[in-house]
Structure 1
Amino acid sequence: MIASLLISVLVITAISVVLALLMVIADATVGNYGVVKININDKKELEVAGGQPLLKALNSEGVFIPSACGGRGSCGLCKVRVIEGGGNYLPTELPWISEEEKKNQVRLSCQFKVKNDVSIMIPEELFSVRQFETKVESIRDLTHDIKEVRLKLIEPSEIEMRAGQFIQFQVPAYELTDEPVYRAYSMASVPSDTNHIELEIRLVPNGICTTYVHKHLKEGDSVTVNGPYGEFFLRDTDRDIICIAGGSGMAPLKSILLDMAEKKSPRKARYFFGARTGKDLFLLDEMKALEDRMENFKFIPALSEPQPEDNWSGETGLITDVVKRMTENASESEAYLCGSPGMIDACIKVLQELGMPEERIYYDKFA
């Protein structure tokens, strides 16, 4: 009985190996699509090797499409319109494509492979996205699992950005990846400092980029980034502002608040920051300094699970509960959120319950 089972397992394993080899051979022969052309916005034409994901093909030619997950198909950011040559949707695209987007021929560029000549449309502002060579100027621990990485721009030496936008950080090949990959991180630096980019990177177990940053990156190392990207920036209104974040979601909101302080914005702003315990809080002195600089700014940290050693006398509970307790009516305000998808969804629900229209809630989700 056991012998028969072992033989069956060996046979199945052998068949799987043979099929895998056949797929590799097919990809190297039948899957050799030669050189194909990519027409972009009827303004630019590229010639690239066929068979590769559109995202990778564009990046290799200096056309950068935002992708928070580095091309794994798990963030849904790298959408482009494929006007001609698109073919059928792949199952890996469909979770991210709405019915309206299907009508407009929107594709997920990290999953769509360029096998023939195609014509695509991308936002015009992506043509101004640039690649930067930088050097790590400093690294410091903000918490037990968040590092601040400060990059000095070398070539080009300046970046024009809006407070709240993000860049893509290139991780070189190392033990967790056999080829360079990109990951997206919000910039924490103030836009007026055009020579530096500041990032706040939280360690994620087995995360390709976070492991590299926390375990391998050193001061003086060279780092390639591209950007800026994103529609997460302060709108030009006079409404009161509610900011909500957790963990490394601090980064874009810090940038926005520093920018407001420099420009002496008179707008009223409250910043609710959620952490689990005292060891997860950071930049408290910096936030206090901002309160001193900005007459109408209030920083409200909260712990969901304060420990006895924290000696915590501030707000407690989930950050959504704190927002609800301290906000009577949000109908005339606007909100800026940054954190995990679950936290963002919970915050949106609470803000809508407090009367805030959904179109005035702006956010970055960390997938």
Structure 2
Amino acid sequence: MTGILSASIIVAILTSVLALIITIVDSIVNNYGEVNININNGTKELKVDGGSPLLFTLAEQGIFIPSACGGKGSCGACKVKILSDVGPILPTEAPLLTDEEKKSKIRLSCQVKVKSNISIEIPEELFYVKQYKAKVEKINNVTHDIKEVYIKLKNPDNIEFKAGQYAQIVVPPYGKIKESTQRAYSISSAPKDNSHVEFLIRLVPGGIATTYVHDFLKENQDVEVVGPFGDFFMRETKADMVCVAGGSGMAPIKSIIYDMYEKEILDREIWYFFGARSLKDLYYIEEFKELSKKMPNLHFIPALSDPMDEDNWEGETGLITDVLDKYLKTKLNPEHEREGYLCGSPGMIDACVKVMTSNDISEEKIYYDKFA
């Protein structure tokens, strides 16, 4: 027994020594010093301390790359073109990059560490993304699991965004969460009120950001918002708009439709299909009924896939894709050009794309915001 204990103590000591050596070596080897980041062929040049992921290094310099997952490597939103040799594509990146992107030197900025001088290319509009200090003015429960969060910006310069775009909410450490992170949410308010942003945030069990919003965030609390991001917005054509959303996917569609109303764009046909499971999951029904009176070309079609007996539901029932297919075949004018606008889960988006393309809506004219 004594021999076993002695061996265990020796192993423990050796393990501790090895861990110490690794720590010391890591601190020496990973001391990359000051490095240069060349952006867009010299449009901007940054001198930064090396060693951190490119995503966070740029953010510290006031250049914000979109990241729906807060830099965890799971959303694939933080793609940049890296012209320098930064090593092979990591296993964490490969599933989120297409073959074409890999050939084009696209990488996930959250997975690439800045170790030496580096040259990158990013969209010019990212130079105008800002981090805003703000305060929560109102929080409303619009369903049993979705909160409407209305935020007042403190900055003297207001946010300029297109209806349909999104922003990232900075989530501070709380409870057992020890590090700050960010999560992306579509803006549900219209751009005309550029001193506020509104979000619709559905509770995801175990979600770091949604748990914070639902259980910890309070009215009058200070928050930070980064944005705007995204290329989901109304295209300026005369085509009929076929919009489909579910859950908190209501947000960008709501922003787009209210923006059209405020800009008096009333001549386009808008068919808005909103899917929910039962009546408790539906919201903004009365608001859209009232808006439809002011926008005669707006057709709001809510549908329940699994209504309860007590719902006494008299509207459309079934999967939203089935309802969409029925209306495309029987209600919409087949002679009109059509565009699709979708927001929801990847599965819903994929199913809606199939229905739309089978009803002669070109895939190039279907725009969507997928929730990862």
Q: Which runs of 5+ in 2 are unaligned?
A: none
Q: Note if 1:350 corresponds to 2:364.
A: no
* CA distance 1:14–1:280, shift in 2 (3 Å): farther
Residue 31 (structure 1) shift: 2.2
List per-residue Cα deviations over 1:253-305 (Å, max 9, x = no partner).
00000011112221000100000111100111111111111010010001111
- Conserved in 2, the CA contact under 8 Å of 1:335 and 1:362? yes
Q: In structure 2, how many angstroms separate the alpha carbons of the residues matched to 1:107 and 1:257?
A: 35
Residue identity in the other structure for 1:360: K
Give the corresponding residue for 2:82.
82
Give the corresponding residue for 1:118.
118
- Conserved in 2, the CA contact under 8 Å of 1:132 and 1:156? no
Residue identity in the other structure for 2:295: M
- Conserved in 2, the CA contact under 8 Å of 1:129 and 1:229? yes
List per-residue Cα deviations over 1:68-114 (Å, max 9, x = no partner).
11111111111111112422111111112222222221111011111
Output aligned runs, 1:1-367, within 5 Å.
24-41=23-40, 42-265=42-265, 266-328=267-329, 329=334, 332-367=337-372
Q: In structure 1, how many angstroms separate the alpha carbons of the residues matched to 2:270 and 2:10?
A: 66
List per-residue Cα deviations over 1:314-339 (Å, max 9, x = no partner).
11111001101111159820010000
TM-score (norm 1): 0.93
Residue identity in the other structure for 1:356: I
Q: In structure 1, how many angstroms separate the alpha carbons of the residues matched to 2:141 and 2:361?
A: 36
List per-residue Cα deviations over 1:92-151 (Å, max 9, x = no partner).
111122222222211110111111110111001110111111110100001111000000
Equivalenced residues, count: 360
Q: In structure 1, how many angstroms separate the alpha carbons of the residues matched to 2:14 and 2:345?
A: 42
Residue 19 (structure 1) shift: 7.5
- Conserved in 2, the CA contact under 8 Å of 1:264 and 1:294? no
- Conserved in 1, the CA contact under 8 Å of 2:240 and 2:336? no
Q: In structure 1, how many angstroms separate the alpha carbons of the residues matched to 2:264 and 2:37?
A: 46
Q: In structure 2, how many angstroms separate the alpha carbons of the residues matched to 1:210 and 1:366?
A: 14
TM-score (norm 2): 0.92
Q: In structure 2, how many angstroms separate the alpha carbons of the residues matched to 1:195 and 1:82?
A: 35
Q: In structure 1, how many angstroms separate the alpha carbons of the residues matched to 2:94 and 2:283?
A: 39
Residue identity in the other structure for 2:306: E
- Conserved in 2, the CA contact under 8 Å of 1:305 and 1:316? yes
Residue 16 (structure 1) shift: 9.0
Residue identity in the other structure for 2:325: K
* CA distance 1:285–1:34, shift in 2 (3 Å): same
Residue 40 (structure 1) shift: 1.0
Q: In structure 2, how many angstroms separate the alpha carbons of the residues matched to 1:51 and 1:360?
A: 42
- Conserved in 2, the CA contact under 8 Å of 1:331 and 1:357? no
Q: In structure 2, how many angstroms separate the alpha carbons of the residues matched to 1:347 and 1:106?
A: 28
- Conserved in 2, the CA contact under 8 Å of 1:176 and 1:208? no
Root-mean-square deviation (Å)? 2.3
Paired residue secondary structure (2:83)? strand
* CA distance 1:295–1:15, shift in 2 (3 Å): farther
List per-residue Cα deviations over 1:9-50 (Å, max 9, x = no partner).
x99999999887765554333222222221111121222222
* CA distance 1:82–1:145, shift in 2 (3 Å): same
Higher mean Cα deviation, 330-339 or 253-262? 330-339
Q: In structure 2, how many angstroms separate the alpha carbons of the residues matched to 1:206 and 1:220?
A: 25
Q: Which runs of 5+ in 1 are unaligned?
A: 5-9
Residue identity in the other structure for 2:365: R
Residue identity in the other structure for 2:143: T
Residue identity in the other structure for 2:36: K
Higher mean Cα deviation, 95-104 or 58-67? 95-104
Q: In structure 2, how many angstroms separate the alpha carbons of the residues matched to 1:120 and 1:44?
A: 10
- Conserved in 2, the CA contact under 8 Å of 1:133 and 1:156? no
Q: In structure 2, how many angstroms separate the alpha carbons of the residues matched to 1:215 and 1:294?
A: 37
Q: In structure 1, how many angstroms separate the alpha carbons of the residues matched to 2:76 and 2:260?
A: 31
Q: In structure 1, how many angstroms separate the alpha carbons of the residues matched to 2:62 and 2:290?
A: 40
Residue 358 (structure 1) shift: 0.4
- Conserved in 1, the CA contact under 8 Å of 2:147 and 2:214? yes
* CA distance 1:12–1:203, shift in 2 (3 Å): farther
